[in-house]
Chains A and B, each alone.
Chain A
Amino acid sequence: MKKVKRRATAALLIAALLVVGLAVYLVRLADNGGAWASYFNGGTPGGTILDRKGVVLYTSDEDGHSFAADWTTRVACYHLIGDAMGNVRTGALRQFRDKLAGYSFIEGTTSGETFSLTVDSALNAAAYSAMAGRNGACMLIDYTTGEILCMVSTPSDDPANPSSEPADGTYLNKCLSASFTPGSVFKLVTLAAAIENIPDLFERSFWCEGSAIVGGSTLTCTGAHGTQNIEQALANSCNCVFGQLAVELGPETMAEYAEALGITAELQLDGMDVLSGSYVKGEAGSIGLAWSGAGQYEDLVCPYALLRYVSAIANGGEIYEPTLLGHDALDGKTRLLSADTAQRIAEMMNYNVQNAYGTWVFGGLNVSAKTGTAEVGDGTSHAWITGFLNDPEHPYAFVVVLEHAGGGLANAGPVASAVLQAAVAAY
């Protein structure tokens, strides 16, 4: 009897496994319950999404769902909201499904809820119009709070009347889920590394004769810039200077800064994963390393990561993490670079506009910026511009990228300007 009694405890093993399995389920439920609960809820989640001014971007109840009334708003906010089929992975309908359906662990799903996004749909519409059918991404952020005010990706679609044959990249929010060759805007990363690692940077004088030999190959420049200091080199966007700075800093330091400034880091926006950029280390002293310092070679940057970095430059080196939902309480700043470095880069970006780009580009607004014209190998270039407004009343940072659109200043500049003008006029 004693033997059998002992062996009877084998049944307890099964009981223990049941409890373990139940624990696994409860952990998963706590983690994913919201996503599960709202997945099949009548096809689309119930609830209402508003923009920051109360414009209805999506609403649904038992009878069905609808998007914004106005066509431009629907198309301009396509990637922000997503569509009813869930094609846009980063769309609010998919990412904030549990919030929309009113899910909580204790109550399960309740009737749909209403919540606001930080984006202003009018700014989205302005950006969409300014992009004028060109493919790319445009974002505007309040760099003092991290609230994203504008987020547009093209090509877009009308969620109310989805196209049967959407263009390539329609389902991709290029602000968050795409990375592009950055070209000269990457010089802001090289610059930060140089300021903090080369003590005599600002005393140095650089010579550019239109090209330089690095590692036995030729590094070509946009022009023969002659004698320059570092400020002028940035304004001229001199490849020779930034290529040679990258070689001097070495691949490890460059990669370290690309990571620390968030370009290659794994970032999140309100809990959703953002595509990381990439920085491939060229061999020490090689032409590859030199080009990587000028934003070519294998460099890839996600617009979101660049905007986040530029916001930090504008905001004294630290930021509240960007958000679409708004911060309940403003705390937990992230520091990307020292206040001193941020200050110096900010001044140099302002120098760019004052002395190289022309303030007229931004219709008289006091903007600090950096452009990029990224060669993509097929003879065309991506047009980039990123920067921020020096106005405590309107603390906006922006990034614009237009694919295969040509020069950065000429093409991306007016888009940025249009959005900034609209934002300043509205607030």
Chain B
Amino acid sequence: MSDIPDLTQYIMTGTKYLLPILALWILLRCIRSMLRERYEPETWAWLLDEDGAALPVCHWESIIGRAASSDVVLDMPGVSKLHASLQRDGDGDWTLSDLRSREGTYVNGEEIDILEPVEDGDTLEFGDAVLTFREIDADERAALERRRNAPGRFIGPGITLLILSIFQAFLALEFTITAQQEYLFPICLGFFALMVMEWFCYLVTRSVRRTGFEPETLAFFLTTLGTAVCASGTPEDMFKQTIFIILGVALYFFLGAWLRSLERVKASRFLAAAAALGLLAVNVVFSEAVFGAKNWLEIGGVSFQPSELVKVLYIYTGAATLDRLFARRNLFVFIVFSAICVIALALIGDFGTAVIFFAAFLVISFMRSGSFATIFLAVSGAAMAGFLVISVKPYIADRFSTWGHVWEDVWDTGYQQTHAMSAAASGGLFGKGAGEGWLKDIFAAETDMVFGVVCEELGLILAVLAMFALIALALFAVRNAAQGRSTFYVIAGCAAVSLMMVQMGLNVFGSLDILPFTGVTFPFVSKGGTSLVSCWMLLAFVKATDTRRDASFVVSRDKAPKRRYEDEDEYEDYEDGSEEAGA
């Protein structure tokens, strides 16, 4: 018996140093896999001019115009700067939309408005430019597919997931030493469920022949940290936490599958907007105030935060396809919609979420309009609104007056921040060990001060890696923008990562007194059912930007060849090849 205590000491010390190493390894593998792949320029169609010279169409959604920022540049008289948009859908059908050009756009001599179908061999006129539309043929199509990169060839996602599983196993092992006897079972079950879930997800994506699993791995990594925080601070809620993770992952797959069809998305955007406004309205009317903000709604004994789900709907509504991007009316409607959302949140008193929405609004409206003037107007409007909120809501003004002075009043207004900073500092680089901290016993530690808990128990290195995991997702989404299938996916993906990053910034820096304390959650890590579910749903938007070959289940496989090619055998060959590459 005497060597048992010695053993626990070895385990605690060993895992303490092992966990950051494993986490760094996971992060580096994911980043390398996500960012190393080189994107080849893809050609999806040709525009042939009268001399037979060919202009490549490199995207599914392209702008044709005189401006250098157009995707197909026609420097000829009569062509407007942004003349028309040429779009391809998932079925391989092409449409042309006029962008209110001066001279108009013609297909086979007929003037068109928007979403006019275009077929191989059609003659397109933009001002003085007369071009013949030519789809790529079967050989080009096959060559294109071969050139595209498939993830997982150099860095196996299965290995990365295995490392994550080892990480989780060691984390659970620490808890078997530090946790109270009565909570051992739920904690171990929670970690076990996490492992089962991630491998199940992995097998599901493999079964539909998709090999990209880095965004999911990063999200599972962050969720693992969240599970550790829950196990440490509120082990009695482990079952609940596990159920919310399952729900979040399920909704992630649902939303991802839903996003596959752009037609379906386009048709349901107004419904989503209505749902968002409806949820907020219900929230304003029925919710009960919990610690200042009236953002909790209880239905049948389960409480949830509608504003978290509105985040997903908001991005769904806010992103737009290219043909709608240049209509001022659409942007105006979006601004009104955003204003209603932010005002509703201000009424609810959820100041932090209002800020997050506003940041998401800035990103979306900038990506839609590209106009700094719009942004400037929005920011000055928000500044005035913010001033109003601060003067009306005294507890928010308190938070601002405390900002930067938390050490002057450690037992009252600076209580949470100073305790978070103190605990974070006492953890050092490697932490005190899972379940060994004291910050977890303080109110809202596992949500608002979660960075402090992670720093204290698991160490600064892991906490910083958690931040970088989210930043890596953001870089991934931005990088994918170049090859996005539709501006809808690009805008939604970038808005989703921006929203999560702003939320993380407010959470982390708010608890460290670098920003005012707003009480928002750290995506995936903070405990909180609805927040966790909404983060997993936002991840679906990121997944939709991933157009590497056979990487993302959200991006449907190209159906075009199947329907058009006479020679079915050739297509089968190509598909076999892809499986090989993915293995």
Contacts and interface: CB of A to CB of B under 8 A. Distances in A.
Interface of A: 1-12, 14-15, 17-19, 21-22, 24-25, 28-29, 32-34, 36-41, 103-109
Given A3-B63, A19-B471, A21-B505, A37 B498 contact: no
Given A14-B502, A25-B509, A36-B421, A7 B366 contact: yes
Contacts of A3: 63, 69, 370
A18 B428 contact: no
Given A1-B59, A25-B514, A103-B425, A11 B497 contact: yes
Interface in B329-344: none
B514 A21 contact: yes
A10 B481 contact: no
A409 to B, nearest CB: 45
B477 A108 contact: no
Contacts of B69: 2-3, 6
A30 B512 CA distance: 14
Interface string B405-430: 00000100000001101111111111
B505 A18 contact: yes
Interface size bracket, B side: 35 or more
A29 B61 contact: no
A8 B366 CA distance: 9
A259 to B, nearest CB: 32
Interface string B457-486: 001100010010001001101100110100
Given A14-B359, A15-B474, A22-B467, A108 B427 contact: yes
A299 to B, nearest CB: 33
Contact of A14 (B59, B410, B423, B474): B474
A4 B425 contact: no
B79 interface: no
Q: Count chain B CB atoms within 10 A of each CB in A32, A34, A108 and give the residue with the most.
A: A108
A1 B475 contact: no
B62 interface: yes
B498 A1 contact: no
B367 A1 contact: no
20 contacts: A1-B322, A1-B487, A4-B322, A4-B491, A6-B69, A7-B366, A8-B477, A11-B478, A11-B501, A15-B471, A15-B474, A15-B501, A29-B425, A34-B425, A37-B425, A37-B426, A103-B426, A107-B429, A109-B425, A109-B428
Listed from nearest, the 5 A-B pairs whose CB atoms lie closest are A108-B428, A8-B481, A37-B425, A37-B426, A1-B59
Contact of A8 (B421, B467, B490): B490
B539 interface: no
B63 A1 contact: yes
Contacts of A104: 428
A97 to B, nearest CB: 11
Nearest to B70: A2
B363 interface: yes
B490 A41 contact: no
Q: Count chain B CB atoms within 10 A of each CB in A38, A40, A41 and give the residue with the most.
A: A40
Nearest to B371: A7
B508 interface: yes
Contacts of A21: 505, 508-509, 514-515
Contact of B366 (A10, A17, A39, A106): A10
A216 B428 CA distance: 67
Nearest to A109: B426
Given A3-B370, A15-B471, A108 B426 contact: yes
A55 B430 CA distance: 35
Given A21-B508, A108-B428, 19 more contacts: A1-B60, A2-B71, A3-B69, A4-B367, A4-B487, A4-B490, A4-B491, A5-B490, A11-B501, A18-B471, A25-B508, A32-B425, A37-B425, A38-B426, A39-B410, A41-B422, A107-B428, A108-B427, A108-B459
A108 B484 contact: no
A9 B478 contact: yes
A109 B432 CA distance: 9
Contacts of A107: 428-430
Contact of B514 (A24, A34, A109): A24
Nearest to A6: B69
B431 A108 contact: yes
A37 B71 contact: no
Nearest to A3: B69
A1 B62 contact: yes
B532 to A, nearest CB: 21
| Majority secondary structure, B binding face | helix
Contacts, number: 142
B15 to A, nearest CB: 16
B494 interface: yes
B363 A10 contact: yes
B488 to A, nearest CB: 10
A7 B509 contact: no
B504 interface: yes
A3 B368 CA distance: 9
Contacts of B410: 39-40
A235 B121 CA distance: 114
A37 B471 contact: no
A193 B482 CA distance: 74
Nearest to A21: B509
Given A10-B366, A15-B471, A4 B512 contact: no
Contacts of B471: 15, 18-19
A39 B509 contact: no
B367 A15 contact: no
A388 B56 CA distance: 92
A9 B497 CA distance: 12
A342 B232 CA distance: 64
A5 B501 contact: no
A108 B508 CA distance: 19
Nearest to A98: B425
A36 B422 contact: yes
B419 A18 contact: no
A21 B367 CA distance: 24
A10 B423 CA distance: 34
Contacts of A22: 464, 467, 508
Nearest to B502: A14
A36 B62 CA distance: 55
Interface in B43-80: 58-63, 69-71
A39 B322 contact: no
Contacts of A28: 512
Given A11-B501, A40-B419, A105 B491 contact: no
Contacts of A34: 425
Given A8-B481, A22-B467, A39 B418 contact: yes
Contacts of B456: 108
Contacts of A38: 422, 426
Nearest to B325: A4
Nearest to B460: A29
B60 to A, nearest CB: 8
A404 B430 CA distance: 56
Nearest to A1: B59
B40 to A, nearest CB: 16
Nearest to B470: A18
Contacts of B427: 108
Given A7-B366, A108-B431, A18 B504 contact: yes
A5 B481 contact: yes
A103 B429 CA distance: 12
B458 to A, nearest CB: 11
B280 to A, nearest CB: 25
A37 B363 CA distance: 38
A36 B505 contact: no
Contact of B512 (A2, A25, A37, A105): A25
B452 to A, nearest CB: 10
Contacts of B481: 4-5, 8
A108 B322 contact: no
A3 B62 CA distance: 10
A7 B425 contact: no
Contact of B494 (A8, A29, A37, A105): A8
